[in-house]
Amino acid sequence: MKKIQLYTITVILCLFSIATHAQINWDTKIQDKLPDILKKHRELVSIPNVASDEENMMKNVDWVTTEFEKLNFNVSILKTSTLPVFLAEKEVDPKAKTILFYLHLDGQAVNPAKWNQKDPFRPVLKEQDAEGNWQIINWSRIKTHINPDWRVFGRAAADDKAPIIMMLSALELLQKQQQKLSYNIKIILDLQEETRSEGFLSTLETYKKRYAADYLIIMDGPAHPTNKPTLTFGCRGVATCNISIYGAKLPQHSGHYGNYAPNPVFRMSHLLASMKDDTGKVVIDNFYDGIELDAETQKLLAQVPDDNEVIRTGLGIAKADNVGKNYQESLQYPSLNVRHIETSWKGPGLKTIIPEIITAYIDVRLVRETDGATQLEKIKKHIEAQGYLVLDRDPTDAERLKHPKIAKLTMNPGINAFRTDINSLIGTTLRETLENEFDEKPILIRTMGGTVPITPAIQVLNIPAIIVPMVNMDNNQHNPNENIRIGNISQGIKMCLAILSMKL
């Protein structure tokens, strides 16, 4: 009786499993392959990839060319006036949809002296000791057992060579399983993302047809700090401006002219204080125009499992700026940031002078509702409303004698924001794909705070874009001791497999 019962249960469970998990269970396959995958990752990270080092960049290109060709991709090295753009294509059906994946092959410049390892381009495997310090362990240990919390340290280990390896590994696993794609694929590897993507962005028109696709998936940046599968539907843009305010024509002795020659530092203080209230909210007219976080949006933002207390204590502050109710809400608004301010004179001893000029270097993060040129125009109007003559150059002597308040404003509208609707076809498909694969809803980021340099491509190519960030948040991106958590590599491969298996 017991035997029959057990058998029945087993059969039922098996049938249930087949019914609900029609897709392949990839976990075991990824784990089996992981030593090889890590070896490949180590190989790629060992090739230096600072964009200014063209010779090594081309070695990286050779390496990925070999890999993509093994997977029967058609590889093109698209010429630009600077470094080329790597493009790998696989067409399954001319009538099918096409997804363009964007990743980058270059890494940030390195200062080896600041790294806790000999060479940032000789990746090391590390585990954390009881004190929380990262200790190098022997690479041979990956042959027997791999701890997902181990990390590989090296430049570009995470940003952005980890996603390249995840994608390659997923494609290889799919090929082995003879799984076919339901859509055409184009994969761009940018060789200059860390230095503003000059080659790629300057050839958007030239290669418009080559880059043409129905959707764009950007595989870059860190996942939510919880390391759960994350989808990011937009990012803020950034505009910049510099404001200079003038005092007397030359620096003046603070004894001879203190109380007489106006001090531009106080002028600037009045001006900046008029732009933001004491709680950090911008009070320039219409600055937040058009932004409304309705109930659904607020719910979407609240779904992100941020621990605002952890963010606050991490920053080391008593109170955040009063823009949104929580961290995610604050990112839905344009910001106004003075990144640096300086008077002209700074020498040893700090001579007691009244400065003749002060300059504030400002950046404005943008959201979809507020484009750069418009936001900067609001700032200009605000300065004028404070009684300033606003110029785009230094004042003439005659202007100085006529206008008590003169400001120079130079503006760069920069890069606008993008945001794709989470309920768009690609949004919905990606959400459902990841939910099916991981048995829980992915974390949905409506807008991330930073700016992806290739946002202009989204606008020129006119393709809905979604960012799929897969590396651990604490990867020391752009800094010494950059690293990737091995658990994130496995999970990223699984995300790639799910995305490559989805039906469009």
- Considering the rule CB under 8 A, would residue 236 count as an interface residue with a second copy? yes
- Taking the C-alpha atoms of residue 312 and residue 320, their distance in angstroms, rounded to an integer, is 7
Residue pair 96/183 in contact by the 8 Å Cβ criterion: yes
Cβ 10 to a second copy shortest distance, Å: 50
Phi, psi of 63 (to 5 degrees): -60, -50
- If one asks whether residue 311 binds a second copy (CB under 8 A), the answer comes out as yes
Q: Exactly one of 140, 292, 352, 503 binds a second copy (CB under 8 A); which one?
A: 352
- Which string of x and - marks every residue 270-309 that binds a second copy (by CB under 8 A)? xxxx-xx-x-x-----------------------------
- The footprint of a second copy on this chain (CB under 8 A) covers a number of residues equal to 80
Closest to a second copy by CB, 18 or 398: 398
**Joined tokens for residue 378:** 């609001």
Which of 136, 250 has the CB closer to a second copy? 250
Residue length of the chain:
504
Q: Considering only residues 356 through 395, tell me which ones interact with a second copy, judged by CB under 8 A.
A: 358, 360-361, 363, 365
Rounded alpha-carbon distances, angstroms, from residue 266 to 141, 261, 272, 337: 62, 12, 10, 19
Using the rule CB under 8 A, is 325 a contact of a second copy?
A: no
CB 64 within 8 A of CB 85: no
User: Minimum distance from CB of 85 to a second copy (Å)?
Assistant: 24
C-alpha count within 13 angstroms, C-beta hemisphere, residue 285: 9
Q: How far is the CB of 394 from a second copy (least distance, A)?
A: 12
Pairing of strands 443-445, 230-232: parallel
Among residues 7, 176, 402, 474, the one that binds a second copy under rule CB under 8 A: 402
Which residue of 146, 174, 248, 443 would you call a contact of a second copy, by CB under 8 A?
248
Rounded to the nearest whole angstrom, what is the least distance from the CB of residue 418 to a second copy in the complex? Answer: 14
Among 257, 303, 424, 435, binds a second copy (CB under 8 A): 257
Asked if residue 245 binds a second copy (CB under 8 A), the reply is no
Q: Which of 77, 78, 304, 338 binds a second copy (CB under 8 A)?
A: 338
Minimum CB–partner distance for residue 277 and a second copy (Å): 9
Does the footprint of a second copy cover residue 256 (CB under 8 A)? yes
Q: Which residues ranging from 127 to 186 are in contact with a second copy (CB under 8 A)?
A: none
Supply 403's token pair: 């206008």
Q: Which is nearer to a second copy, 279 or 423 (CB)?
A: 279
Q: Which of 3, 95, 118, 319 binds a second copy (CB under 8 A)?
A: 319
Residues facing residue 184 across a β-bridge: 98
Residues within window 443-502 making contact with a second copy, judged by CB under 8 A: 448-451
Phi, psi of 164 (to 5 degrees): -60, -45
320 binds a second copy (CB under 8 A): yes
For the beta sheet containing 151-153, the strands, ordered from the edge strand earlier in sequence to the opposite edge, are 134-137, 124-128, 151-153, 483-485
| Cα distances (angstroms) measured from residue 359 to each of 43, 251, 264, 355 | 47, 15, 9, 11
Binder among 61, 218, 223, 354 for a second copy (CB under 8 A): 354
Q: Give yes or no for residue 103 binding a second copy (CB under 8 A).
A: no
What does 417-472 look like in DSSP terms, one character per residue? -EE--TTSHHHHHHHHHHHHHHSSPPEEES-BSS--TTHHHHHHHT--EEE---B-
Q: How far apart are CA 170 and CA 185, in angstroms?
A: 13
413 sits near a second copy (criterion: CB under 8 A): no
